[in-house]
Amino acid sequence: KETEQQLQFLSNYDRLTGLANRTQFREHLHKSLTLARLNREKVALLMIDLDRFKPINDTLGHPIGDLVLQRIANRLRLAARDGDIVARIGGDEFAIIAFGLGNPDAATTVAERVVEILSRPMIIEGNVVEISGSVGVGMAPDHGSDPDALVQHADIALYSAKHGGKQTYRLFEPRLMEAIQRRRSLEASLRRASMRNEFRIVYQPVFSSAQGEITGAEALLRWTCPQHGEISPTEFIPIAEELGLVSRIGSDVLRRACKDAAGWPEHIDLAVNVSPVQLLDPRLPQTVSQALADSGLAPERLELEITETALLNNDEAALRTLTHIRDQGVRISLDDFGTGYSSLSYLHRFPISRIKIDKSFVQKLPDDVGSASIVRAIAQLGSSLSMKITAEGIETDSQLSFIQEQGCDEVQGFLTGRPIAPADFLLLAGR
Ligand code: C2E
Ligand code: MG
Ligand code: MG
């Protein structure tokens, strides 16, 4: 009898967390939906996915990963109400079936609580684990009254939560389907584009703040999708990262930009953006030296722009890669500074020679008191650490004067020059 009970338990419950497993989840969902239909009640399905579980598992090891999952399970039990069903339906995927909800608002309240409770950091065996989760919500009968339809719609909401910046929830709505179709079709086009090299590079001039002379240019990638038209790099780079295409696309940009820059006057430097995913690739230093060798561009004229996200989590590997690159004579700058963690320890630990103040601050100058003090503080920080400072996103004369008063070294923005085609940049650069 005991063995039978144990077998019963094993086939219905997840061994690691003791939550209902996938099989039992499906059974519960089926029953709950039938009951709800009879009683004319609403049922909410919350599909939950952890945002950064894989890197945690990879860096801290599986035993810690298991502990994280167990704690998450406990937190979900707390977030759910009596009678709700909490299940683990995959590696880092969970679900809650919630009952007795009068309207979608009640369901989003539960979702909000789940997001909040999941984003509290954990301390496990001396490690601080920063974790968070995304939630997709589907309501029965509004978004489907059979299990398959409801799961599918809640999954679509989850997908949209994950691509909408994570650590958030979304309630299903029909327009999310269109967004998903667009995304799928963009993915397919992007794969084709990267095979056929359908990208263009434009160059935005950078000027010295004091003399107003052109000192360099930032290479910015452009892509016109055959179906969807011009797509911003802020949209397609993250997709390329997810599809594993960004290293290939990134090395191509590096190669082509170095070739272009080798034809510019020698006092004009080149800045190229490097995605955090590229930085994880140990071949990056090799790619950089190859691009320099092929083009004949002096390493001192090249600067790679990274963002702080690249330095999070895997900072040992990032440090090694960046040091290799710096040892070749190439400089590293920290892009979009102020928007991420802005941890001062990065500036100290990593071989960074320039900070680029994010345009979100610059654009609120000079009136916004908060932005003004942030810009002032970053400028001072830069000069005391002997780093160069660039302010990006300058659009007005008053922003420019403010930046000049702060003693920033370089300026970049639509006011001084928009990104332009390589041939136009060559003219501007005076050759
Ligand atoms: P970023 O590196 O911070 O580049 C600056 C962005 O600000 C560019 O947008 C530029 O066009 C825009 N910008 C410059 N001045 C102004 C201004 O005065 N006002 C406004 N509103 N915007 C200004 P873009 O070209 O859309 O690129 C967006 C982001 O995409 C870049 O931000 C960078 O993070 C990424 N990106 C672009 N090209 C590449 C690339 O080749 N590789 C990688 N990994 N990322 C890239
Ligand atoms: Mg940049
Ligand atoms: Mg930037």
With a CB cutoff of 8 Å and minimum separation 6, the contacts of 78 are 117
Q: What pTM does this model have?
A: 0.81
Region 56-79: mean pLDDT is 92
Is the pLDDT assigned to residue 110 strictly greater than 70?
A: yes
DSSP string, 33-49: HHHHHHHT--EEEEEEE
pLDDT digits (tens, 9 = 90+) for 268-292: 999 999 999 999 889 999 999 999 9
- Our answer on whether the CB atom of 247 is closer than 6 Å to any ligand 1 atom is no
pLDDT digits (tens, 9 = 90+) for 114-161: 999 999 999 988 888 889 999 999 999 989 889 999 999 999 999 999
Which one, of 307, 299, 297, 304, lies nearest residue 261 by Cα?
Answer: 297
DSSP tally for the chain: helices H, then strands E? 17, 16
Higher pLDDT residue, 179 or 290? 290
Band the pLDDT of 10: cuts 50, 70, 90.
Answer: confident
What is the share, in percent, of the chain residues with pLDDT greater than 70?
Answer: 99
Decide: 352 and 387 in contact? Cβ < 8 Å: yes
- Our answer on whether the CB atom of 393 is closer than 6 Å to any ligand 1 atom is yes
- Our answer on whether the CB atom of 273 is closer than 6 Å to any ligand 1 atom is yes
Which one, of 303, 302, 321, lies nearest residue 311 by Cα?
Answer: 321
Band the pLDDT of 101: cuts 50, 70, 90.
Answer: confident
Band the pLDDT of 197: cuts 50, 70, 90.
Answer: confident
The pLDDT of residue 314: 61
The pLDDT of residue 237: 95
- Our answer on whether the CB atom of 202 is closer than 6 Å to any ligand 1 atom is no
Average pLDDT over the chain reads 92
Region 338-347: mean pLDDT is 77
Question: Which structure tokens are listed for 167?
Answer: 């650590």
pLDDT digits (tens, 9 = 90+) for 35-50: 999 998 999 999 999 9
Helix boundaries (H) for 263-358: 276-279, 284-295, 315-327, 344-349
Question: Which structure tokens are listed for 337?
Answer: 């500074």
Alpha-carbon gap, residue 46 to 170, rounded angstroms: 10
Question: Which structure tokens are listed for 59?
Answer: 């860096």
Band the pLDDT of 431: cuts 50, 70, 90.
Answer: low
Which of 273, 336, 364, 411 has the most ligand 1 atoms within 8 A of CB, as the residue to mutate?
Answer: 273
**393 alpha carbon, closest ligand:** 1
> Which residues are within 5 Å of ligand 2 (an ion), measured at CB?
273, 305, 335
Higher pLDDT residue, 211 or 301? 301
For residue 319, the tally of other CB atoms under 10 A from its CB is: 15
- Our answer on whether the CB atom of 336 is closer than 6 Å to any ligand 1 atom is yes
- Our answer on whether the CB atom of 234 is closer than 6 Å to any ligand 1 atom is yes
Region 315-320: mean pLDDT is 85
Residue 310 CA, ligand 2 centroid: distance in Å: 13
Is the pLDDT assigned to residue 343 strictly greater than 90?
A: no
Decide: 55 and 64 in contact? Cβ < 8 Å: no
Decide: 111 and 137 in contact? Cβ < 8 Å: yes
Which one, of 87, 111, 124, 98, lies nearest residue 36 by Cα?
Answer: 98
Band the pLDDT of 171: cuts 50, 70, 90.
Answer: very high
Higher pLDDT residue, 43 or 341? 43
Which of 206, 220, 303 has the most ligand 1 atoms within 8 A of CB, as the residue to mutate?
Answer: 220
pLDDT digits (tens, 9 = 90+) for 351-405: 999 999 999 999 999 999 999 999 999 999 998 999 999 999 999 999 999 999 9
What is the share, in percent, of the chain residues with pLDDT greater than 90?
Answer: 74
Residue 218 CA, ligand 2 centroid: distance in Å: 7
Nearest CA to ligand 1 atom 45: 273
For residue 195, the tally of other CB atoms under 10 A from its CB is: 10
- Our answer on whether the CB atom of 335 is closer than 6 Å to any ligand 1 atom is yes
Residue 25 CA, ligand 3 centroid: distance in Å: 45
Question: Which structure tokens are listed for 319?
Answer: 């440090």
Residue 272 CA, ligand 2 centroid: distance in Å: 7
Band the pLDDT of 313: cuts 50, 70, 90.
Answer: low
Instruction: Give how far Cα 91 sits from Cα of 49, 64, 232, Å.
Output: 9, 14, 33
Residue 273 CA, ligand 3 centroid: distance in Å: 9
